[in-house]
Chain A
Amino acid sequence: MSSFKVFDIAGAGLAAQSVRLNTVASNLANVDSVSGDPASVYKARHPVFQAVHAALRAGAYAVQSGGTVRVSGIMESTASPTVRHDPGNPLADADGNVYAPNVNVIEEMTDMISASRAYQNDVEVMSTAKDLMLATLKLGQ
């Protein structure tokens, strides 16, 4: 039933955006998690979104219309960690260096705003679709 597809689509959007908000929260929470080893330091994580088309999911019912969205994976940033000279830190290596995560706080904040706006859009779509559907149910009364 095509009318209820709106809820699937908006719901998938909500799920995807909340994964994105989660990764932002994780990145921001770990921004100061320094380590003495560049290999084991926390790396910024970012979700990868992918469109899922209705025709692929519905099989025989080959109706192409709006596709939902899904998180196809979470990538770790490959940027090198920030090296900080801090000999007093108990985690410092032999040279007195500690390694801070490659999290760009400004990037994360803009990402958070973008995710929150997209989430609001999806909520609005869902609530409007619900109103329309309830109005349709009252048709002829």
Chain B
Amino acid sequence: MTLSIDGYLGVQQDALKIFGRRTAVLASNLANADTPNFKARDVDFKSLLAQHGAAAGSLPLSAPQAMHVSTTAAADPTQSSAFLKYRVPLAPSLDGNTVDAQLEQAAFADNTVRYQAALSFLGERFKSLLTAITGQ
């Protein structure tokens, strides 16, 4: 029986990548909170993850292998800009800036928790693997 580490780790490793990228996007929104004409953006997590599964022709969350064949950064869907969507501002300001600092802070906190959740899922996977390897 062959065991693919990629398959074993499941969707969490892709989720971790996307959350990592989302951290940068949200950090950028917060850094540009006072930049005139800056438009706040966010990662469209759902369609990004769905695309990973769709390419493998199975249930969206069950097949993260689609991206693993790619070797270039441009072909990596987690790196493309197509999944960066502009936020609809709740209260647009006169200088054309659409960053709502409170909203971005909340999104950042949310993203942090999700990142840590994905990390602990992965950590548990590794622990199970180690248990299997050492046979104890």
Give A contacts to B, CB under 8 Å.
2-3, 5-6, 9-10, 12-13, 16-17, 20, 48-51, 55, 61-69, 114-115, 117-118, 121-122, 124-125, 128-129, 132, 135-136, 139-140
Contact = CB atoms under 8 A, between A and B. Distances in A.
A128 B108 CA distance: 9
A114 to B, nearest CB: 7
Interface stretch (B50-58, B63-71, B112-120): B112-120
Interface in B31-80: 31-36, 38, 41, 73-74, 79-80
B31 A69 contact: yes
Contacts, number: 111
A117 B101 contact: yes
Interface in B1-58: 16, 20-21, 23-36, 38, 41
A124 B26 CA distance: 12
B36 to A, nearest CB: 7
A139 B119 CA distance: 7
Contact of A140 (B26, B34, B84, B126): B126
Contacts of B38: 51
Nearest to A20: B34
Contacts of B108: 125, 128
A64 B34 contact: no
B24 A121 contact: no
Nearest to A11: B31
A121 B28 contact: no
B25 A66 contact: yes
B28 A68 contact: yes
A129 B115 CA distance: 10
A128 B30 CA distance: 13
B116 A65 contact: no
A121 B35 contact: no
B19 to A, nearest CB: 9
Contacts of B101: 117-118, 121
Contacts of A62: 74
Given A125-B108, A128-B108, A9 B31 contact: yes
Contacts of A2: 20-21, 24, 79
B79 A63 contact: yes
B32 A121 contact: no
Contact of B30 (A55, A64, A125, A132): A125
Given A2-B79, A13-B30, A66 B24 contact: yes
B112 A139 contact: no
A6 B24 contact: yes
A139 B122 contact: yes
